[in-house]
Structure formats: C-alpha cells, structure tokens
Amino acid sequence: MMYTVPTITKNSRPSHYKKAVAFCVDKAYLPYASFVANQILEKEKNRDFDVIICVPERDLLFPIPDSEIRYCSIDYSCMLNLPVGRLSMATYHKIFLPAIFKEEYEQILYLDADVYLNSSCISSLMSSYKENKGLAMAVDISEIERKSGLNFHNNYLNRYANLNHQYRNAGVILFNTKRLAEINYLEQLMNYAEKNKQKLLRHDQTLINTVLSNEISSLSFLFNYQLIDTTIPLLDEFKPKILHFVGELKPWNTEFGFIGSFHAEYDSFIRTHFPHHQLHSKSEFELKYESRKKKRKYKNPVREKLSLNVFVGKERLKGIIAYFSKPRNSETVEKRKIRRIISRFRASIDRSICESDVQPARS
C-alpha cells in the first residue's frame, strides 16, 4: 500500500544546510520547542545545520520575528487515525520527517520538546555518525531498569528482549534520510500501524521499535539522558550532553526539586516570546498524583481507590524519609540510597555509552 506523505504548506525561511535539527509539536508545546531551539542557536557556535519546528497547518505561528528558527506548517490530513491515549497526534509526526524533507536534508536529528541542551554537542554528533542504518536511538530508561533487575516483570519490554532487541527511546532520533528512503520505511510503518493499532501501547515508540528494529543503531545514553529519581543523582558522574525530562515533571510545570531548578530559565524565555502563554506550576506530589489518577490501573472503583491511597501513602513516606535522611553535618559522605542507585544503574548506563556507535567524550 502506497502512503501519501504530509506536505509543507508554508515556512518562515528556506533550508540552508544539508542537515537539520527538528521538533514536531502542536500549539500547546510550541513555546517549549522554541525554548530548546533557541538554546541550540545560542550554544552551537559552529552550527552546520538548520533548526526546524514543524507544527500542524491549523497551528501555524511565527512567534519569534527574524529568528533563525525555520517554522514549517505541515498538512497532516493524510495521517491514519492512530491511538494516542493522553497524548496528541503530534507524537506520531516525527516519523514523517525523513519523508517530508528527503530532498532537503541528508540527516535530521529529531528532539522532543522536553529536552535541554546541557552542552554544545549536536554538530559533532551528526558529523561523527557514519553508520549506514536508518536511525540511531538511545536505550530507553525502562530497558536500563530491566537490565538492572528492577523491571524484569515487564511483559511489554520482555517481548523485545525475546527478539534480542534493546528497546529504544524516541525522544532523540538521528535519521538517515537516504537509507530510510531506500527501504520504503514509511510504507512499512503505516502498513503495520493500520493493521495493529491495538498493539501500539507506547505509540510511535512502539511502532519504530517493532518495525524498524533492524535499522536502529546505538546512540549514546548521554545524548538522551532520561531524568528520573534514579538517574538524577548520577548527573555529576556521567555529565550528559542532552537532558530529557521524561515523566510528568517538566521544568515549566514545577518550581521545586532538581527539575524545578530550570523553571526560571523557561519562565523568562516564555514571558519574552510567548507573553500570552501562562505557566502553571504545581508541587511534585500534585503532578505525580494527577498523572497516577489518569493512568487508571483497575476497573473496580474500590480497588482503584485503595491503590490511589497506597500511592499517596508511599509518596508521603518518601517525604518523611527524605527529611530525616538529610545530612546533619558536612562530614557525611554519601547516602545509602545513592550507593544503591550507583550499584544498580552504573553498569547498565556505562554499557549504553560504551556500546554506542557514537561515544561523546566526557567533560
């Protein structure tokens, strides 16, 4: 079955380079993608790539006048009606990038809007990648947990392990447009999606890992360092290049904790360039509780309510433990919790770095 490729209906500037960094967002996430795009323009002094933000045709805005960001309006009306859950259809838009821009770009580095450029690395990443496979992706944090013995009962992950495939995260993807065109990748993806909608449990990420597993080479975890409770304490050790705010805690919705430490930077940018976009911050507990309520575990309302009460109790206990485990003097070396985290995760993260086709030097 031939599939119609979405088309560019309008854009703010023409292409300049043969490489690009691209974001695919709807109107709700446009400010956050613009923040990261602007960050890239400021930090990548020797830039040899375009920076593109793709939005659905109905959401087209050119919010930053005279910006070097290339804003593209895309007509996605040809898309299949795919499952999205709590997400928007924009989560699938990334898979069309190599087809939409195949005549303009040889390489496209896709980034989720919830990443943060920790250091200049993008030009070197794209120039040093020589693999002839269609995509490069970093291992997903859930795969690292599984390898560390913390998530081995996950049936979803186990099906990929049985196929001898390392499950990858779709928040950062390096596309080789020529190779993907050679294998008719989009037709493969759409044929599978049309026949297996019920299997797309993690949406585009499931689709890519299932259909294109033989075309995925390894991207270092340092280029997609997924931030959760167990990876945040290891930041000083691994010094990642690109941070990825996976989960419900984002720098624009919380002002506390490690992730909240980025809030002021986002707030300043958005107040300047998106004055009508309001940031609404909540506590970590409120955000986690709202997210848990949306992810209903049980159909039985009584069982679900008991489960929510258990969740609340655990979160409160975490707060009490954190308070009483704070160092009482400067001679305290490292908490027992940190030692456990290092012992469980360090080897798995190290492997995800050392086994990669591109290995950035640690600063």
Q: What is the spatial distance between Cα 242 and Cα 227, in angstroms, rounded to a whole number?
A: 10
Q: For residue 337, what pLDDT is reported?
A: 55
pLDDT at residue 54 is higher than 90: yes
> Could you confirm whether domain 7-228+347-354 is CATH 3.90.550.10?
yes
> pLDDT digits over 67-116, tens only?
899 999 999 888 777 766 666 788 889 999 999 999 999 999 999 999 99
Most confident of 223-227, 341-345, 351-355: 223-227
Q: For residue 333, what pLDDT is reported?
A: 41
Tell me 23's DSSP state: E
Q: What is the spatial distance between Cα 40 and Cα 144, in angstroms, rounded to a whole number?
A: 28
Name residue 54's beta-bridge partners: 24, 72
pLDDT at residue 314 is higher than 70: no
Six token digits for residue 116? 């943060």
Contacts of 168 (CB under 8 A, 6+ apart): 137, 138, 139, 140, 143, 205, 208, 209, 216
pLDDT at residue 259 is higher than 80: yes
Nearest to 160 by CA among 196, 212, 111, 204: 212
> pLDDT digits over 104-158, tens only?
999 999 999 999 999 999 999 999 888 789 999 999 998 888 777 666 557 777 7
> pLDDT digits over 215-233, tens only?
999 999 999 999 988 888 8
Q: What is the spatial distance between Cα 113 and Cα 91, in angstroms, rounded to a whole number?
A: 11
Phi, psi angles (nearest 5°) of residue 139:
-65, 145
Nearest to 92 by CA among 244, 184, 176, 211: 211
Q: For residue 68, what pLDDT is reported?
A: 92
Higher-pLDDT residue of 192 and 64 is 192
Phi, psi angles (nearest 5°) of residue 8:
-80, 125
Q: What is the spatial distance between Cα 64 and Cα 246, in angstroms, rounded to a whole number?
A: 27
41-to-24, 27, 338 alpha-carbon distances in Å = 17, 21, 35
Q: How many CB atoms lie within 10 A of CB 152?
A: 12
The rounded mean pLDDT for the chain is 83
Are the beta carbons of 5 and 35 closer than 8 angstroms? no
Domain parsing of the chain, residue ranges: 7-228+347-354
Q: For residue 340, what pLDDT is reported?
A: 61
Q: For residue 287, what pLDDT is reported?
A: 64
170-to-6, 114, 115, 253, 262 alpha-carbon distances in Å = 20, 12, 12, 22, 23
Which of 57-61, 198-202, 235-239 is predicted with the least confidence, judged by mean pLDDT? Answer: 57-61
Question: Measured in whole angstroms, how far is the alpha carbon of residue 294 from the centre of its chain?
Answer: 20
Instruction: Give the pTM.
Output: 0.84
Nearest to 133 by CA among 157, 162, 98, 92: 98
Q: What is the dihedral of CA 53, 117, 261, 244, to 10 degrees?
A: 80
Q: For residue 324, what pLDDT is reported?
A: 40
Mean pLDDT of 340-354: 72
Higher-pLDDT residue of 318 and 293 is 293
Most confident of 36-45, 195-204, 287-296, 310-319: 36-45
pLDDT band at 353 (very low <50, low <70, confident <90, very high): confident
Are the beta carbons of 153 and 167 closer than 8 angstroms? no
pLDDT at residue 257 is higher than 80: yes
Q: For residue 219, what pLDDT is reported?
A: 93
